[in-house]
Structure 1
Amino acid sequence: MDENQQFLLDLAKAKMPFGKFKNQYLIDLPEHYLVWFKNQGFPKGKLGLQMASVYELKLNGLEDIIKKLQ
């Protein structure tokens, strides 16, 4: 399995670790919440990268890719 495949599998299992949507899958976060983070700045590290990826997937209507992996 290559790095991209592993990233997508990890993304499918990733949950929000804090805040109003704590323990919710990142792919299920509301779009307005992700837009807010996009404007304010995503968190540093892996979580930020995953949230930015979810934002891009939702923006392009591709969240089903992740949902199928769940």
Structure 2
Amino acid sequence: MSPEHLQLLVTRTMPYGKYKGRLIADLPGNYLNWFARKGFPDGEIGRLLELMHEIDHNGLSHLLDPLRSAPTKTQT
């Protein structure tokens, strides 16, 4: 896990499914638990969902709050 991965949780949206368009950090715990039972998808989205599941499961979601208001780096 890196700081960049944590930043992605508060900027990347769910690309499909019931919660399409919702930030990964805002996905409900029961949805993340469903993925944990059924299997996380391949690729970056699966890694982010798995990370968010661990954060949520351990009651650490509040640690993402400072990242929500932090300015994001823009590429030049």
TM-score, normalised with respect to structure 1:
0.88
Whichever structure has more helix as a proportion of its residues is: 1
Calculate percent identity across the aligned residue pairs: 35
Match of residue 13, structure 1, among 11, 16, 23: 11
User: Which residue is 2:71 aligned to?
Assistant: none
Please identify runs of 4+ aligned residues in structure 1 that moved more than 4 A: none
TM-score, normalised with respect to structure 2:
0.82
- Aligned alpha-carbon RMSD (Å): 1.3
Give structure 2 stretches of 5+ with no counterpart: 69-76
Greater CA radius of gyration, 1 or 2? 2
User: Which residue is 2:34 aligned to?
Assistant: 36
Match of residue 57, structure 2, among 51, 56, 59: 59
Give structure 1 stretches of 5+ with no counterpart: none
